[in-house]
Amino acid sequence: MNLYPAHPVLLVDDEEEILASLRVTLALAGITNTILCPDGSAALDIARDREVEAALLDVLMPGRKGDEVLEGLLNLQPDLPVIMVTGVDDVDLAVSCMRKGAYDYIRKPADSERIVSALTRAFELRTMRRERHNLSAGFLNPAPPKSAAFNELVTHSPAMLRIFQYCEAIATSPEPVLIMGETGVGKELLARAIHNASARKGEFVAVNVAGLDDQAFSDSLFGHVRGAFTGADRARGGFMERAAGGTLFLDEIGDLPLQAQIKLLRVLQEREFYPMGSDRPKPLTARIISATNRPVDELKEVQRFRADFYFRIATHSLTIPPLRHRPEDIAPLADHFLAQAATTYGHAIEFPARVLELLGGYAFPGNIRELRAMILDTAGRSQNGQLSLDVLAEKLSQIQPARQSGAPDHVFSNVPRLPTLKEGSEALVAEALKRAGGNQRRAAQLLGVTPQALNSRLKRRSSSSV
């Protein structure tokens, strides 16, 4: 008999009748690989010795409490999805468990469909985390010693993993970095990750320089001495002084006035700056990272960027691709933001497969920031922990650009040579897997087939290519 899943599901409860009932319920749903534990200490011993696929954990037990066992399990297996189960209706306890890393929270008595649904989603999350780990191992091998600095940037994209590898290589360099990319792709988050990977002792200080005139720029970055100008009744340090020994992040550098560019250029060349009203320089010990959401070539063409200034601030440079160019990131990012929503609203929220289909057909001009706002807003309107598809569909229909007249009727209208049925089906399967982040169950739902049918097709393709 083949057990499912490959690694066991840990069922932890001090009541043997409940454990026996859970085992039968899960077996009827096809989840046959389970381990029953009457107490938290036994659960920790098992997790210490073998990999577990998911855990169903009672909150209130004699001896070790459920939230303590939760922390122990996650210390042993950080990627383990743990579902908390309790007969107490306590919102504070639920929120506390979610903040400690619980994947879901179920109240007793829970119906079998709710339990099976929660575990099925937990298996999908486990698979996704393994795939992300394998991708990281493949692209960042050997793993850089400070790779944990990039954990907050959720991605399955090979292009993003190559960017992380580049950032690891330049993290300890004192030279300036220019990060380019559209609004909402995560430029500041990446800049912070570079700072954390650099192990610099000073602060990470972020400044939006858009709209600053010459005096405001000088005062903000360099500071001033007492009496430097009317109203300067005391000395004030600028952001460069505050970021000493750390990183100064200058956002929207493309909107910096030309005169301010000249001043910053000199500071970068001489590695020193003058507070306003002072004739004594101070050393620049901060590392400068800049960002712009406008293409550098465009800025040069309209004479908004001095060439010498660009070459000085872009000793190291990179471009973060927009979300529409990495659709494989939609699924893991949506999961990540749903987890944030669960913490915010104090309860777990279901993730119907139809959500991925809706999101996958949208271009996201606002990129990750737009996706996050969309998920959190939709989650806030959810009913009974169920993400509202109607709300999401309505939101997308309001912002989705109208179809232009004369546009092609279907995807093959402008293709010179029609693909064969085999070529078309292979491309369709590949695209579904890409949009689902490699998760076969979700890809099957997007294609309208069963997971078994998709798995069978993939096995046939694999055997025929040998």
Cis peptide before 78 (omega within 30 of 0): no
List, for residues 155-191, the tens digit of each pLDDT value. Answer: 888 888 888 988 888 888 888 999 999 999 999 999 9
From the centroid of its chain, how far is CA 122? 18
Residue 55 φ/ψ, nearest 5 degrees: -135, 140
**Was domain 147-321 assigned CATH 3.40.50.300?**
yes
Which has the higher per-residue pLDDT, 301 or 77? Answer: 77
Q: What is the mean pLDDT of residues 375-398?
A: 77
Amino acid at 282: K
The distance of Cα 204 from the centroid of its chain, to the nearest Å, equals 20
Mean pLDDT, residues 425-450 taken together = 78
Q: Which region among 3-17, 63-77, 398-412 has the lowest average model confidence (pLDDT)? A: 398-412
* Token pair belonging to 257: 């006035």
Mean pLDDT of 114-140: 69
- Examine the pLDDT at 416 and tell me if it is beyond 60: no
| 139: nearest Cα among 152, 156, 125, 126 | 156
d(CA 445, CA 121): 14
The Cα-based distances of 365 to 162, 184, 297, 370, 415 in angstroms read 23, 9, 21, 8, 26
Q: Give the tokens for residue 428.
A: 């369709």
Looking at residue 206, what is its pLDDT?
A: 95
> Which of the two residues, 125 and 163, has the higher pLDDT score?
163
pLDDT value at residue 296: 74
Task: Using the predicted structure, report yes or no on whether residue 381 has a pLDDT greater than 90.
Answer: no
Instruction: Give the model's confidence band at 235: pLDDT under 50 very low, under 70 low, under 90 confident, else very high.
Output: confident
Give the model's pLDDT for residue 4: 77
Summarize pLDDT for 248-283 with one digit per residue, the tens.
999 999 888 888 999 999 999 888 999 998 888 888
Q: So what's the pLDDT on residue 389?
A: 75
pLDDT 10s digits, 79-117: 899 999 887 777 777 788 888 889 988 888 778 888 988
Distance, in Å, from the CA atom of 179 to the CA atom of 173, rounded to the nearest integer, reads: 15
Structure tokens that stand for 319 in this block: 């471009």
Token pair, residue 100, equals: 């400690």
CB 70 within 8 A of CB 103: no
Q: Which pLDDT belongs to residue 273?
A: 92
3-state SS assignment for residue 37:
strand
pTM above 0.85, yes or no: no
Mean pLDDT of the chain: 82
pLDDT at 445 over 80: no
Cα 195 from chain centroid?
18
Do 184 and 369 touch, CB atoms closer than 8 A? yes
**How many Cα neighbours within 13 Å face the side chain of 433?**
14
What number is the average pLDDT over the span 360-378? Answer: 88
> Tens digits of per-residue pLDDT, 290-338?
999 987 777 766 667 788 888 889 888 999 999 999 988 998 998 899 8
Percent of the chain with pLDDT over 70: 88
pLDDT value at residue 417: 64
Is-contact 240 281, C-beta < 8 A?
no
The neighbouring-strand residues paired with 386 are 350, 383
Distances (CA, A) of 171 to 67, 140, 150: 37, 15, 12
What's residue 442's pLDDT? 73
Answer whether 54's CB lies under 8 Å from 123's CB. Answer: yes
- 33-69 confidence digits (pLDDT tens): 999 998 888 999 999 999 999 999 988 888 777 888 9
296 CA to centre of own chain:
27
Pick the CATH number of 1-139 from 3.40.50.1820, 3.30.450.20, 3.40.1360.10, 3.40.50.2300: 3.40.50.2300
Please give the residue that has the higher pLDDT: either 376 or 136.
376
Percent of all residues in the chain with a pLDDT value above 90, rounded to a whole number: 27
β-strand partners of 319: 180
The answer to whether 454 and 447 are in contact (CB under 8 A) is: yes
Cβ distance 76 to 70 under 8 Å? Answer: no
List the strands of the sheet with 9-12, edge to edge.
34-37, 9-12, 54-58, 82-86, 104-107
pLDDT at 411: 58
Sign of the CA dihedral with 147 first, then 150, 156, and 160 last:
negative
More confident residue, 34 or 210: 34
Dist CA 412 CA 416 (whole Å): 8
pLDDT for position 210:
85
pLDDT of residue 404: 40
Query: What are the Cα distances from residue 409, in Å, to 183, 245, 361, 401?
Result: 31, 58, 16, 16
The whole-angstrom separation of Cα 36 and Cα 39 is: 9
